[in-house]
A and B are shown apart, each in its own frame.
Chain A
Amino acid sequence: AQKITQTQPGMFVQEKEAVTLDCTYDTSDPSYGLFWYKQPSSGEMIFLIYQGSYDQQNATEGRYSLNFQKARKSANLVISASQLGDSAMYFCAMRETPTGGGNKLTFGTGTQLKVEL
């Protein structure tokens, strides 16, 4: 079973509008973490935001916020006031309880976001 599902292969949004990128996950582990990364066309992976399973509040980082609905097992990324520079691939990733150390992440297949004028 896929652990991280991103059902939107591509999304369009107009500049200055808000956009929500969907992410659902599957785990029976009570302790887990959810990460979002941005990959612009230049190829680098940029960390955006983190949400822990025990965090009481939704994470926010500038224009990025995470709509965390634990019962629904969803961790959607909300980008407010979209900018042309937000055009990129966005990946959701999950960390389950580390076994043997490390911080292995399982990634979704990504959502390609294009911001239009």
Chain B
Amino acid sequence: NAGVTQTPKFQVLKTGQSMTLQCAQDMNHNSMYWYRQDPGMGLRLIYYSASEGTTDKGEVPNGYNVSRLNKREFSLRLESAAPSQTSVYFCASSGTGGASYNSPLHFGNGTRLTVT
């Protein structure tokens, strides 16, 4: 019963390096999300995918790209990392069918990224 799995758990990058954060869910959810969490700012939405084949920008998309690889997987890519992208990144997914817009987001355990 894994739920939402994110890899890696920790990552240190140098400015300008690139990396991809991986996320997979096994709950047959249609929608997936990437959030970042910074001290004193709560969680802010970077990108989301309402369904397989679609992606949309959230509140803070600059510097990121996403790919909805299939229904299970949603990756977040940093093409050229900057110190301002030092954060904790959370992937989440949410429900399917009916009043699914009322269903809660299920979160992964987060990736702690440091950019030096």
B-contacting residues of A (Cβ < 8 Å)?
4, 33, 35, 43-45, 47, 50, 52, 91, 93, 95, 98, 100-110
Task: Provide the bound-state CA to CA distance between A100 and B48, in Å.
Answer: 11
Knowing A33-B102, A35-B104, A45-B90 touch, does A102 contact B33 (C-beta < 8 A)?
A: yes
Question: How many Cβ-Cβ contacts under 8 Å join chain A to chain B?
Answer: 72
How many residues in B have their beta carbons less than 8 Å from beta carbons of A? 33
Q: How far is the CB of B114 from chain A (nearest CB, A)?
A: 15
Interface class of chain B by DSSP: mixed
Interface residues of B in 65-116 (CB under 8 A from A): 88, 90, 92, 94-95, 100-107, 109-110
Chain B, Cβ-Cβ closest to A100: B50
Interface segment out of the listed B11-19, B20-28, B51-59: B51-59
Knowing A100-B56, A101-B31, A102-B94 touch, does A50 contact B102 (C-beta < 8 A)?
A: yes
Knowing A43-B88, A91-B42 touch, does A103 contact B101 (C-beta < 8 A)?
A: yes
Contact of A107 among B44, B54, B102 (CB under 8 A): B44
Chain A, Cβ-Cβ closest to B88: A43
Instruction: Verify B107–A45 contact, CB threshold 8 A.
Output: yes
Q: Would you mind naming 28 contact pairs between A and B with Cβ atoms under 8 Å apart? A: A43-B109, A43-B110, A44-B110, A47-B105, A47-B106, A52-B102, A91-B43, A95-B101, A98-B101, A100-B54, A101-B31, A101-B51, A102-B31, A102-B33, A102-B51, A102-B94, A103-B95, A103-B102, A104-B45, A104-B48, A104-B58, A105-B43, A106-B45, A106-B59, A107-B35, A107-B43, A109-B40, A109-B41
